[in-house]
A and B are shown apart, each in its own frame.
Chain A
Amino acid sequence: MTLSKMLLSAAGLALAAGLAQAESHMSETADKRIALSNNYAGNSWRQAMLQTWQEIGAQAVTDGIVAAADAYTTSENQPTEQAAQIQNLILQGYDAIVLNAASPTALNGAVKEACDAGVIVVSFDGIVTEPCAWRIAVDFAAMGREEVDYLASRLPDGGNLLEIRGLAGVFVDDEISKGIHDGVEVHDQFKIVGSVHGDWAQDVSQKAVAGILPSLPDVVGVVTQGGDGYGAAQAFKAAGRDTPLIVLGNRQDELQWWADQRDATGYETLSLSIAPGVASLALWVAQQILAGEEVPKDLTVPFLKITQDNLDDALATTPEGSVANVTYSLEVAQQVISDAK
């Protein structure tokens, strides 16, 4: 290496360091190690989540923002396993643990151990209630309300709605449904005439909707929870009824169906869900906390909304059988933090 080249690279480094400094103390976390503690990897959403973490984490390490961003998944989806995993991560000397928890409460003991050992704990998606941890929560009720708001904007005259719910007894299902019913109360031109459980799966939804359809009057809209829109559309088609306005949930098959309908009949709708890339948001939040930034303990994840305008982009980037994803940048994380302040 010649002298001039060395000088140049040194100058480049200095410049990069200066930039990093300006971009909210990136260099301060250069020697910090962050671990992801994950309880389950058995569906497309979690797979996409892990992939996003790996990509963003590797990039952050290459850029010298953090020293390590390793992902750990428990071999079984059990709180006792994950509690042990968290304690192992403390022993391994990580500075921050980003956590998708198997239980909102059963990990509190282990999380407390981490906090007491000076480890930053950021929980997301599956959050923990331990006060010393940060929470990046999903406002599922708001998602339900937003669906009805959208329907109201498209169908000002109102009409009958069919609600497809998720897995009975799961907190997420209750929350989204509550939001939908709140929305219907506000927009009282709508009436929910039927409600079935689709378990967030296309085949289950199709069967459930096909079962209830004969007993229903004319339906103008279908409110869903994600993973169920395509099945509902198929059931309507099989019954020979007009396709109502179905709110979708970002799954690839749903987006594909939407694109086909749009090309054929000019079908227009909205698709919204939580992007698995929320893991990258959690990574940046942890980095910001490590950098000494004041971060409120409770943050809210933005939804990933797909509209008529960005449908083609979303469809092009979503692998078959997967779910639309977005990776969050440091800037978005800072925005989320400042919004919560």
Chain B
Amino acid sequence: MTFLARHRIILPVVSLAVLLAATFYMQPRAMSYFGLNLLFNLAVPIALATIAQMMIIMVNDIDLSLGAFVSLAACVTATFLNDAPMLGLLILLALILSYALLGAVIHALELPAIVVTLGMSFVWGGIALFILPSPGGAAPGWLRTLMTVKPPFAPMAVVAAVIIAAVTHLLIMRSGIGTVLRGVGGNARSVARAGWSVIRLKALAYGLAGLFGVLAGMALVGLATSADANIALRYTLLSIAGVILGGGEFTGGKVSPTGAVIGAFTLTLAASFLSFMRLSPDWQIGAQGAILILVLTARLIFRQKGSEA
């Protein structure tokens, strides 16, 4: 194994650094406390959603309902959590539990997660529309304060990214239960033989995804000040791309929480960079895809070199 293959975090870090340098070159104004915050604050909810998606990918599944779920969490946050905090908290808790339940059902009935979550995306979207038929609601004051806080030295977005990465790294990469959870994605049968209940582990992974999905919705409302039933639909694809960009893989429980956070930030930055380049919007989606392919190609090349050596 080469150095690069062993440290899968290197490539995401380098991608982000290169893109950041290019952005600073094109738009020197971004190179400031204020600029960095503007550049990255909307990446915070995406990073949380990416962590949620990572939890699902970690157990070899994929979640196509995440964008709708985050939108729903945002709608609950902007309505119930603001008007009746206790009730709001209960609903959000129920959402997390229903995600855990979903994980258990998917495992128990051996359903393909891709189909179940695609179906659930309509359920979440429907409930979100029911709660907030037209855009509106308001962010709870404390949440707005939290998301617009101006900490010393580094802007909120950067501080939040470090905290999210550190907490999830400890949880997934360092703790005992994290190792077992990754084991479910690596080899569920041997985890089961070792005496673990796979159904509970899957429920836990989905529950964690639900938790981070809810956090993403809350963070988004804190930034946007209000919600919309369609506010986060883009997050489904962004979160999957973020996980992969951050060094995760679709199978084998190979994920990296730090990489996922960096992946989310890279994707956000890529969009801003293309906008600074004044690229026509027709080309922007394609260009975003091109950046993704570039990074994945680089990873493939490094890995092949690694296995040859």
Contacts and interface: CB of A to CB of B under 8 A. Distances in A.
Interface in B104-125: none
Nearest to B138: A105
B285 A110 contact: no
A83 B223 CA distance: 10
A148 B224 CA distance: 40
B231 A41 contact: no
B224 A83 contact: yes
A291 B60 CA distance: 59
Interface of B: 27, 29-30, 34-35, 38-39, 41-42, 133-137, 220, 222-228, 230-235, 268, 271-272, 275-276, 278, 281-282, 284-285, 288
A207 interface: no
A327 interface: no
A92 B271 contact: no
Interface in A87-139: 87-88, 90-93, 103-110, 112-113, 117, 129-130
Contacts of B268: 84
Interface string A74-88: 111011110111011
A91 B35 contact: yes
Nearest to B30: A91
A243 interface: no
A270 to B, nearest CB: 30
Bin chain A's interface residue count. 35 or more
Given A83-B224, A84-B271, A106 B281 contact: no
A105 B276 contact: no
Given A80-B231, A80-B234, A92-B29, A106 B226 contact: yes
A80 B285 contact: no
Given A75-B285, A109-B223, 19 more contacts: A72-B281, A75-B271, A75-B282, A76-B234, A76-B285, A80-B232, A81-B234, A83-B223, A87-B39, A87-B41, A87-B42, A87-B272, A91-B35, A91-B38, A105-B137, A105-B225, A105-B227, A108-B225, A109-B224
Contact of B231 (A74, A79, A93): A79
A83 B35 CA distance: 15
Contacts of B224: 79, 83, 105-110
A83 B42 contact: yes
Contacts of A113: 38
A109 B144 CA distance: 9
Given A80-B234, A81-B234, A105 B226 contact: yes
Interface of A: 41, 70, 72-76, 78-81, 83-85, 87-88, 90-93, 103-110, 112-113, 117, 129-130, 169, 171
A9 to B, nearest CB: 33
B275 A88 contact: yes
B226 A108 contact: yes
A100 B265 CA distance: 26
Contacts of A91: 27, 29-30, 35, 38-39, 272, 276
A83 B30 CA distance: 16
Contacts of A117: 34
Given A85-B275, A92-B27, A103 B135 contact: yes
A47 B224 CA distance: 28
Contacts of A88: 38-39, 272, 275-276
A106 B285 contact: no
Contact of A93 (B29, B134, B272): B29
Nearest to A90: B38
Contact of A109 (B225, B232, B233, B285): B225
Contacts of A83: 42, 223-224
10 contacts: A78-B230, A78-B234, A80-B234, A84-B42, A84-B268, A88-B39, A91-B35, A92-B276, A105-B136, A171-B134
Contacts of A74: 281
- Which of B34, B228, B233 neighbours the largest number of chain A CB atoms within 10 Å of its CB? B228
Contacts of B275: 72, 85, 88
A105 B135 contact: yes
A144 to B, nearest CB: 19
A153 B268 CA distance: 56
Contacts of B285: 75-76
- Which of A78, A79, A91 neighbours the largest number of chain B CB atoms within 10 Å of its CB? A91
Nearest to A93: B29
A81 B288 CA distance: 13
A41 B223 contact: no
B30 A106 contact: no
A74 B134 CA distance: 22
B233 A78 contact: yes
- Which of B38, B272, B276, B284 neighbours the largest number of chain A CB atoms within 10 Å of its CB? B38
Contacts of B35: 91
Contacts of A78: 230, 233-234
Contact of A81 (B27, B137, B225, B271): B271
- Which of A80, A104, A117 neighbours the largest number of chain B CB atoms within 10 Å of its CB? A80
- Which of B39, B226, B284 neighbours the largest number of chain A CB atoms within 10 Å of its CB? B226
Contact of B228 (A70, A75, A92, A103): A103
- Which of B42, B136, B282 neighbours the largest number of chain A CB atoms within 10 Å of its CB? B42
Contacts of A104: 135-136
